[in-house]
Amino acid sequence: MKSKIAIMGAMAEEIEPLLEKVENIKKNRYAKNIYYEATYRGKDIVIAYSKIGKVFASLTATILIEKFGCDKLLFSGVAGAINPELKIGDLIIASHLCQHDLDITAFGHPLGYVPEGEVCIPTDRRLREIAKEIAERRGVELREGIIATGDQFISNRDRKAFISSTFNADALEMEGGSVAVICDALEVPFFILRAISDSADGSADIDFDKFLESSAKISADFILDMVENIE
Ligand code: ADE
């Protein structure tokens, strides 16, 4: 069966560069949001931005899969860097995702863990391989690492250091970990790509505003190459 690929962002800026390049757009209003059915180089896709945070991201991922019938999900957007080798505009793909703000440690559980869940959820291996092949062909650097998710914009060195040491994460953002839970539960292969917009430090808010658009575009352009290369 022909696949239908969901492409999600969190913010309008993260999907606008996609909407400029896709064809045959049909706008669907649902659950106080807009879902754009479209085609790109012959592939059927559905694009939406969720709004910021884990709850909205979970809702949107679920709708893309359950209502629109998407059988693969790609996330495109920006992230704060933890790994000092990651600079503004650099691309990172998640090997795994975790939730840094999920905390029932009072009951003796590790941070990020709830019973019957997992601290780290892996992304789809084949989609990661496709991304690495594209990066090699394009001659762009693509880091692979753990991405930590939470309902917090991190602009604080101490919190960043804590997330780094607790989860061994390379980057952080506010949606990927929840998309991972949904796709894992619904058995839909998924892939999370982020371009760095800031370093999650004291100037993160200023850098985020400055680099959101340019970094979101870098990520979106790469995601469209992914769409073309998915069987
Ligand atoms: N997304 C991009 N930068 C971020 C930050 N510093 N904290 C959380 N999410 C982000």
Which CATH number covers residue 52?
A: 3.40.50.1580
Residue 149 corresponds to which amino acid?
A: T
Q: 110: which DSSP letter?
A: P
pLDDT of 1: 74
Question: 117: which 2 tokens?
Answer: 């869940």
Number of helices (H), then strands (E), in the chain: 6, 10
147 lines ligand 1 (CB under 6 A): no
Given the residues 90, 170, 198, 207, the one annotated as active site: 198
Report residue 75's pLDDT band, with 50, 70 and 90 as the boundaries: very high
Indicate if 14 belongs to the active site.
yes
> Which residue range forms the structural domain that includes residue 51?
4-229
pLDDT of 127: 98
Residue 28 has pLDDT above 90, yes or no: yes
Closest listed residue to residue 202, CA positions, set 158, 140, 157, 150 = 157
- Strand (E) positions, 90-184? 91-99, 121-122, 142-149, 171-173
Report d(CA 167, CA 211) in Å as an integer: 26
pLDDT of 231: 84
Question: Residue 205 C-alpha to ligand 1 middle, in angstroms?
Answer: 9
Instruction: Please tell me whether the overall predicted TM-score, pTM, comes out greater than 0.95 for this model.
Output: yes
Pocket test for ligand 1, best of 174, 175, 215 (most atoms within 8 A of CB): 174
Please tell me the total count of domains within the chain: 1
Closest listed residue to residue 97, CA positions, set 212, 41, 175 = 175
Q: 207: which DSSP letter?
A: H
Pocket test for ligand 1, best of 78, 82, 193, 219 (most atoms within 8 A of CB): 78
Indicate if 225 belongs to the active site.
no
Report d(CA 175, CA 179) in Å as an integer: 6
pLDDT of 173: 98
Report d(CA 226, CA 96) in Å as an integer: 19
Query: How many other β-carbons are positioned within 10 Å of the β-carbon of residue 136?
Result: 10
Q: Which residues contact 37 (CB under 8 A, 6 or more apart)?
A: 24, 25, 26, 28, 44, 45, 46, 68
